[in-house]
């Protein structure tokens, strides 16, 4: 092993303590999406604040984010607090770097009846397989506690932490991170003033064997097309043939957006996509992934591509257009002869560098207007943006990534794969912009951890090795 950081042995030694801490945390059903469980989310915040205090963190603040905006059934429902705290100080003698650690302590809903093998909020350790199960073990309570555990290991090994830490732990991540953007922007020059870099441990390995570091996320622009015709739904036996049907118009417009092979048909988008570089080609070459893994994940053999490179590039670095549904259309079983009077078609585009979001909106709207005009329909037509979130990309060879790659290699003996993700973690971009620093996504769990699903798990080895990586990452990042 390349590193002889004594903290690593201490982590091994403290394994039972760390498993117990995770077990205690999992017992609190901090489901942010369930209003009736809001007191539990707050209870978990206090539980963590106590842990932080016991471990020597200071300036612990439970930041009040006010009441939750509608839609809520309790109009006075308070948002759970964001936990800010510090470890170490930056005075004139102490020139350590400062890393902001982001994590979330809320979890997705879970009920035994959903199909769990054990109670989701009762921690379960499969001794034989060395797998821990429970809602939140991998998303994101386990990784969040990982940082606390690492601080404990440093302390008990008698080693000074090589960097200063600032925590930003939120309790609304699974419910849209309401209020967090504002807080980050407000605290950028205050609590977060000295932050040199941000580390987020809230995503996963691509597969189950090879560790990864993540350097990019796609954005998402979501659109809807509203077509209005008859004042109310009509019967096709009575009016079919003599009225312009909104649904027919919509199908024509939707089919013009994308080909069945995934190719987006809207002019001007392709031109905005950054060309593939040689470095990038090399990154994809090395990634451990196969078509079979995709088939397994989607439960079918319906991939558009037959090789690793095309699959991953189309998931991560090219835009994609998906058609999600039609509001107002008949969708139930049977053969209802309705002519919907108004329909709303929904679709979104996953965005990548260097797509300009505003320009994209214009291209989409112009395209839809043009296609609709060609239909010469008397119906009214409108395409609009519902919401957007930008993509994120960073240099996977910057100081923070280099430190994390070295730390990963120490523990797993291999260079981590450099991955991107097809979805988004909007807060990543907020940190980067507001704090004017870069962000590292350092996952702890595996691709099959079932984060939002039943039987969420985290392998004990990922928990322990993940902490060892964190410990060495702090060390390597502190070095100049
Ligand atoms: Zn998460």
- pLDDT tens readout for residues 277-303: 999 999 999 999 999 989 988 889 999
Q: Alpha-carbon Rg of the chain, whole angstroms?
A: 25
- pLDDT tens readout for residues 306-348: 999 999 999 999 999 999 999 999 999 999 999 999 999 999 9
* Rounded-to-integer distance, Cα 405 and Cα 212, Å: 9
Mean pLDDT in the chain? 96
Q: Is residue 324 a known part of a binding site?
A: no
Q: Is 106 an active-site residue? A: yes
Residue with token string 């024509």? 252
290 touches 209 (CB < 8 A): no
Q: Is 361 an active-site residue? A: no
Query: In 3-state terms, what secondary structure has residue 300?
Result: coil
Options 13, 34, 156, 173, the catalytic residue? 173
Closest CA to 165 of 183, 152, 156: 152
pLDDT at residue number 422: 87
pLDDT at residue number 462: 98
Ligand 1 center to residue 471 CA distance, Å?
21
Please give the average per-residue pLDDT across 340-365, as a whole number. 97
pLDDT(2) > 60: no
* Residue 407 CA to its chain's centroid (Å): 23
Closest CA to 368 of 220, 226, 468, 182: 226
* Choice among 144-158, 240-254, 279-293 with the minimum mean pLDDT: 279-293
Give the model's confidence band at 426: pLDDT under 50 very low, under 70 low, under 90 confident, else very high: confident
Ligand 1 center to residue 6 CA distance, Å?
30
User: Strand 338-339 and strand 320-327: pairing?
Assistant: unpaired
Residues 6+ apart with CB under 8 A from 8: 1, 468, 471, 472
* Rounded-to-integer distance, Cα 417 and Cα 217, Å: 15
Ligand 1 center to residue 174 CA distance, Å?
7
Q: Which domains does the chain have, with CATH numbers?
A: 2-217+392-478 (3.40.630.10), 219-273+318-389 (3.30.70.360)
User: Residues with Cβ within 5 Å of ion ligand 1?
Assistant: 139-140, 202
Query: In 3-state terms, what secondary structure has residue 195?
Result: coil
pLDDT at residue number 1: 46
Give the model's confidence band at 3: pLDDT under 50 very low, under 70 low, under 90 confident, else very high: low
381 touches 223 (CB < 8 A): no
Please give the average per-residue pLDDT across 112-130, as a whole number. 97
pLDDT at residue number 425: 83
pLDDT at residue number 94: 67
Q: Is residue 302 a known part of a binding site?
A: no
Q: Is residue 337 a known part of a binding site?
A: yes
* Rounded-to-integer distance, Cα 452 and Cα 456, Å: 7
* Rounded-to-integer distance, Cα 220 and Cα 458, Å: 29
pTM for the full model?
A: 0.91
pLDDT(111) > 70: yes
Q: Is residue 314 a known part of a binding site?
A: no
Ligand 1 center to residue 250 CA distance, Å?
36
For the chain, the distance separating the N- and C-terminal CA atoms, rounded to the nearest angstrom, is 22
Options 106, 140, 245, 456, the catalytic residue? 106
Q: Is residue 139 a known part of a binding site?
A: yes
pLDDT at residue number 262: 97
pLDDT at residue number 297: 84
Q: Is residue 104 a known part of a binding site?
A: yes
Ligand 1 center to residue 475 CA distance, Å?
25
- pLDDT tens readout for residues 54-103: 999 999 999 999 999 988 899 999 999 999 999 998 776 668 999 999 99
pLDDT at residue number 33: 95
Ligand 1 center to residue 202 CA distance, Å?
5
């Amino acid at each position: 092993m390349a590193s002889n950081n004594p903290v690593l042995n201490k982590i091994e030694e403290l394994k039972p303590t760390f498993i117990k801490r995770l077990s205690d945390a999992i017992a609190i059903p901090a489901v942010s999406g369930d209003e009736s469980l809001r007191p539990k989310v707050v209870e978990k915040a206090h539980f963590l604040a106590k842990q932080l205090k016991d471990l020597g963190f200071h300036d612990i603040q439970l930041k009040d984010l006010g009441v939750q905006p509608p839609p809520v059934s309790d109009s006075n429902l308070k948002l759970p607090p964001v936990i800010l705290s510090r470890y170490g100080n930056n005075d004139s003698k102490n020139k350590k770097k400062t890393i902001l650690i982001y994590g979330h302590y809320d979890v997705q809903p879970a009920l035994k009846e959903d199909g769990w093998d054990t109670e989701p909020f009762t921690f379960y350790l499969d001794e034989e397989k060395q797998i821990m199960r429970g809602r939140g073990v991998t998303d994101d309570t386990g990784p969040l506690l990982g940082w606390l555990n690492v601080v404990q290991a440093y302390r008990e090994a008698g080693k000074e932490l090589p960097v200063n830490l600032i925590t930003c732990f939120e309790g609304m991540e699974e419910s849209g991170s309401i209020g967090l953007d504002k807080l980050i922007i407000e605290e950028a020059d205050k609590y977060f003033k000295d932050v040199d870099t941000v580390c987020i441990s809230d995503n996963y390995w691509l597969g189950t064997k090879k560790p990864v570091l993540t350097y990019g996320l796609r954005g998402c622009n979501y659109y809807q097309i509203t077509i209005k015709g008859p004042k109310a739904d009509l019967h096709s036996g009575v009016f079919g043939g003599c009225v312009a049907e909104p649904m027919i118009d919509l199908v024509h417009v939707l089919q013009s957006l994308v080909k069945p092979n995934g190719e987006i048909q809207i002019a001007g988008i392709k031109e905005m996509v950054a060309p593939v570089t040689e470095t990038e080609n090399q990154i994809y070459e090395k990634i451990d992934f196969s078509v079979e893994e995709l088939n397994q994940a989607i439960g079918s053999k319906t991939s558009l591509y037959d090789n690793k490179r095309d699959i991953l590039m189309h998931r991560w670095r090219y835009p994609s257009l998906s058609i999600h549904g039609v509001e107002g259309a008949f969708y139930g079983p049977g053969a209802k002869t309705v002519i919907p009077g108004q329909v709303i078609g929904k679709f979104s585009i996953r965005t990548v560098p260097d797509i300009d979001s505003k320009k994209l909106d214009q291209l989409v709207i112009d395209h839809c207007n043009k296609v609709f005009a060609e239909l010469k329909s008397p119906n009214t037509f409108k395409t609009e943006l519902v919401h957007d979130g930008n993509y994120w990309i960073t240099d996977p060879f910057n100081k923070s990534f280099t430190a994390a790659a070295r730390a990963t290699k120490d523990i797993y003996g291999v260079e981590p794969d450099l991955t991107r993700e097809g979805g988004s973690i909007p807060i990543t971009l907020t940190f980067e912009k507001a704090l004017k620093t870069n962000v590292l996504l350092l996952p702890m769990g595996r691709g099959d951890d079932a984060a939002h699903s039943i039987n969420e798990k985290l392998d004990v080895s990922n928990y322990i090795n993940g902490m060892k990586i964190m410990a060495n990452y702090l060390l390597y990042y502190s070095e100049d």
